[in-house]
Amino acid sequence: MNTDKQQVHDFWNEASCGEDLYLPGLDREAYEAQARKRYELEPYILEFAGFDRARGMQVLEIGVGLGADHQRFSQAGADLTGIDLTERAVEHTARRLAAFGLSSKLAVGDAERLEFSDESFDCVYSWGVLHHSPNTPKAVSEVWRILRRGGRASVMIYHKWSLVGFMLWIRYALLGLRPWLSLSDLYARYLESPGTKAYSIAEARRLFSHFSEVSICTVLTHGDLLESMAGQRHQGALLSLARNIWPRALIKRHLSRTGPVHAN
Ligand SMILES: C[S@@+](CC[C@H](N)C(=O)[O-])C[C@H]1O[C@@H](n2cnc3c(N)ncnc32)[C@H](O)[C@@H]1O
């Protein structure tokens, strides 16, 4: 593993996504509580992932994290495979599925070098993962390679022009007296794992340009609306203050087209 990817691995192997904030234990109840919170904060995942359409399909999830979506695919009757760069996420997901009497072919694996033959899945699903991998275009071309012609990839990546980006700029560029820092620098240094990227719609379209059909939409997230803990890296008095004064109603009315890019 090269240094950049090792850093991504080490970041997510310290705590899987949402583990510190929303996973109260390691048993069935704890995983259930985390999933409840996940779909309360991000209800749009349910439609985007299309769990109900997965019965009998060969599905690969890339970047399983704590495994809530993986559980849904398994419960829906998918012929399921899941990978994650980290041992921790694979352990969580295996433990979660076992607690519910479910199964999947789970392994540690790298989105940039998928160990599957060409055209071997009907559906590839990846929520909030590929923008963390150092060579995102390579990961996207791997998704295309292993997808059957006529198959579907549902991929969520971060949107560059988001309120989260604006908040990072206020906190680290403006208040950090480094207003020259670009949004790309800010996402890479301060959002989550080192090197995280975010895309404009045009950039996302270019990234997926070898797919025969691409539809992209953006949503306002709980992060943009400060409706949740902002993430495992972000805490403090300034954030608490912002959470109290954040004009959510105004944002929802006028800025409903910022947030992560979903391409499928
Ligand atoms: C923000 S978390 C998202 C996890 C899960 N999909 C979710 O929505 O909670 C990012 C995940 O991507 C994984 N990841 C990052 N780079 C990866 C790569 N190259 N291959 C596979 N997984 C990767 C990380 O280990 C981490 O579990």
What count of other Cβ atoms lies within 10 Å of the Cβ of residue 262?
Answer: 20
Q: How many other CB atoms are there within 10 angstroms of residue 264's CB atom?
A: 20
The binding-site residues of ligand 1, defined as CB within 6 angstroms of any ligand atom, are 8, 12, 16-18, 62-63, 65-66, 83-86, 89, 110-112, 127-129, 132-133
- The closest residue, in CA terms, to atom 4 on ligand 1 is 65
Q: Which of 168, 83, 172, 69 is nearest to 130 (CA)?
A: 83
Nearest atom in ligand 1 to 12's CA: 25
Closest atom, ligand 1, to C-alpha of 139: 19
Say which residue the tokens 């259930």 belong to. 32
| C-alpha of 216 from chain center | 15
**Closest protein CA for atom 10 of ligand 1:** 129
By the 8 A CB rule, do 261 and 204 touch? yes
- Residues 54-76 have pLDDT tens digits of 999 999 999 999 999 999 999 99
% of the chain at pLDDT higher than 90: 80
Mutate to test the pocket of ligand 1, among 3, 17, 127 (most ligand atoms within 8 A of CB): 17
Tens of pLDDT, residues 18-35: 999 999 999 999 999 999
Q: Are 65 and 92 in contact (CB under 8 A)?
A: yes
**What pLDDT digit, counting tens, does each position of 111-122 carry?**
999 999 999 999
Q: Which of 86-90, 157-161, 230-234 has the lowest average pLDDT?
A: 230-234
List, in sequence order, every residue forming a beta bridge with 110; answer none if it has no partner.
113
Is residue 111 within 8 A of residue 139, CB to CB? The reply is: yes
| pTM, to two decimals | 0.92
- Given CA atoms 5, 6, 10, 13 in this order, what sign does their dihedral have? positive
